[in-house]
Amino acid sequence: MQLDEQQRAARTWFEHLRDLICAEFEAIEREAGSDASFDYIPWDRADPSGAPGGGGVRGVMKGRVFEKVGVNVSTVGGTFEGDFARTIHGAGEDPRFFATGISLVAHMANPHVPAVHMNTRFLRTTKQWFGGGADLNPPLPVAQDTADFHAELARACDAHDPAYYPRFKAWADDYFYIPHRGVHRGVGGIFYDHLDTDFAADFAFTQDVGRAFLAAYPRIVRRRMADPFTADDLAEQRRWRGRYAEFNLVYDRGTLFGLKTGGNIDAILMSLPPLATWE
């Protein structure tokens, strides 16, 4: 795929952020006495037209602290198929698209360490925009962890627009909700989409969201990863993971986007926990 300057800049940042996050997560494993590291599996995508459609790299680590963590980057393009184009911003009249981004989900061995999700992306159809966010998903919530996570995201938002944090926090609260259970998936964070005020400003904000995640989450992991836990704590973690899986399979738009655009199945479904319980 031929990329222009904006597309290359976005792709390069997402790949750089991947490298920073994976290095930090591997450092945590070393602190816990583990030699676990990421395995990187590249994949290619064929566009429905038959032309090359880009691809990505799936990064997965299974360790002592991170029971299962996936950090994926992808850069894809081509045409949306059929009616799906009409569901995408700016693609109703012209199904051609470009998308690049990073997606991360971590499921933790210790139930006192929150699971987490983060993704940021740049898309172009007849319009172009940034979207994404991060949200914390503790089976056993701790107020300090929730406050620290939100504080870092608020700082990132406030540096760009004081209206961003309350707006994007409310959006996350609405989006990461499981209607059939009547509960939220976790303790929230921020979620934004169709941010198209100005490429440079929106790109700078998206970069700061990634940096805020990197400042907040490893600190929480280190704080909780040695906490003792009980069989009841582990059972609660697995019940909560069942709800997490339900949300991602039923409601998550990123899962649907990946499946509808011919993405790598293992990368799309890396968000599913290794062990979960339904009772």
Please give the biggest Cα pair distance in the chain.
Answer: 56
**Residue of 125, 109, 58 whose CA lies nearest to 228:** 109
Does the active-site annotation cover 117?
yes
* DSSP 3-state of 44: strand
Tell me: the pLDDT tens digits for 191-202? 999 999 999 999
Q: What is the band of 268 on the pLDDT scale with cuts at 50, 70, 90?
A: confident
Tell me: the pLDDT tens digits for 217-260? 999 999 999 999 999 999 999 999 999 999 999 998 889 888 88
**CATH numbers and ranges of domains, the chain:** 5-271 (3.40.1500.10)
Out of 16, 89, 112, 117, the active site residue is 117
Distance CA 151, CA 224 (A): 18
* DSSP 3-state of 208: helix
Q: What are phi and psi for residue 93, nearest 5 degrees? A: -95, -20
pLDDT above 90 as % of the chain: 84
